[in-house]
Amino acid sequence: MARIYTEGFEMGDGLFWTNTNEGTINTTYKRSGNYSWRLGSNLEAYRNITGLSSFYARIGYRPESGFSQDGTYILIWRNGTTVHGSVRLSDAGVLIAYRSTTLVATGSIPVARDVWSLIEVYVLIDDTVGRIITKVDGITDIDFTGDTRNGTSTTADNIGYGGNAAEFDDLALNSTAGGSDNSWIGDGHVIALFPNAAGDSSQWTPSSGATNYLMVDETPADNDTTYVYTSGINNKDLYHVANAVLSGTTIHRVWVEARARDTVAISGAIRLMIKENATESESTDLYVLNNYTTRLVGSEYATKPSNSQPWTDTDINDLQIGQKLTVLGG
């Protein structure tokens, strides 16, 4: 697969970003789930990536009325600090595309204020046959061919999202490599399901003597207020999750995400787990730092590990998630 990331901010914090200080979690306006990310006056949040010469991006975008958007961007791609290009929203309410600081194309589809729009962008970085293509709510708007490269690099190694009072949600990024997830992403939503009952294993210790799942069911994470802990190698906890409100939904991927810390300076490792149809599946070792800024993301499962069949609503509602200690810090 070629999906670089999918993000809906459902963990209630900014740890997805490389720069976590720009913008804030928003609970008032969200495209799906419980949260979106809001950027205020001329702020940017960015994410480092492995260098890409071409990619597809999806952005749920809600610009607020009462603020000038002229000159601010929705998406920007760079190598280091060298800007290859960007897609912006003009104050007239249409998309505009830039190579570095040079305007190269102007769209014609209005992007309304105070409502969610689905913005998709395809970028190919090249001196002569570069491309910038945009879609608004699934309809092609800008289609530019020409010079999209700035400087000596042929790749982008960080992707930024910016605005002047705007919300972002349901982000996704595809590369053009791999056998799937290598083209337009299309519409989609990110939801989070949190523990709501004990699962088939409870080998970690709850911080307050209460039931394990009650220590790990909050969002955002409350750090050292409630948690589970262990020093036993291969000890694992599993939790049932709340039912998803789905009906005939196509489920493209399932993964487990956690916030964790080690209590010593030399970090240990855990594996994040799912259990479906009596089959347990684990991520690789995920190393944990000595603070709660450790964002752990487990393996993505595009199909059910037990039989490689597509996920169904029932599968999701029967799912267990959890973690296992594999390397003891010390």
Q: What is the pLDDT of residues 250-309, one digit of tens each?
A: 999 999 999 999 988 788 999 999 999 999 999 999 999 888 778 999 999 999 999 999
In the structure, what pLDDT confidence band is assigned to residue 247 with cuts at 50, 70 and 90?
confident
Residue 91, amino acid: D
Question: What is the arrangement of strands in the sheet containing 156-163, beginning at the earlier edge strand?
Answer: 43-52, 156-163, 73-79, 82-89, 95-99, 102-106
Please, what CATH class does the domain formed by 3-175 belong to? mainly beta
| pLDDT value for 209 | 79
Considering the chain, what is the average pLDDT of its residues?
Answer: 94
Assign domain 195-327 to its CATH architecture.
Sandwich (2.60)
Is 325 a residue whose pLDDT tops 70? Answer: yes
CA distances from 226 to 45, 86, 241 (A): 29, 42, 18
pTM: 0.94
Is 238 a residue whose pLDDT tops 80? Answer: yes
| pLDDT value for 161 | 95
In the structure, what pLDDT confidence band is assigned to residue 329 with cuts at 50, 70 and 90?
confident
In the structure, what pLDDT confidence band is assigned to residue 178 with cuts at 50, 70 and 90?
confident
Residues 74-110 as b/e (b if ≥16 CB within 10 A, e otherwise) read bbbbbbeeebbbbbbbbeeebbbbbbbeeebbebebe
Residue 104, amino acid: V
Question: Any idea what DSSP says for residue 249?
Answer: -
| pLDDT value for 1 | 61
According to CATH, where is 2.60.120.200 located in the chain?
3-175
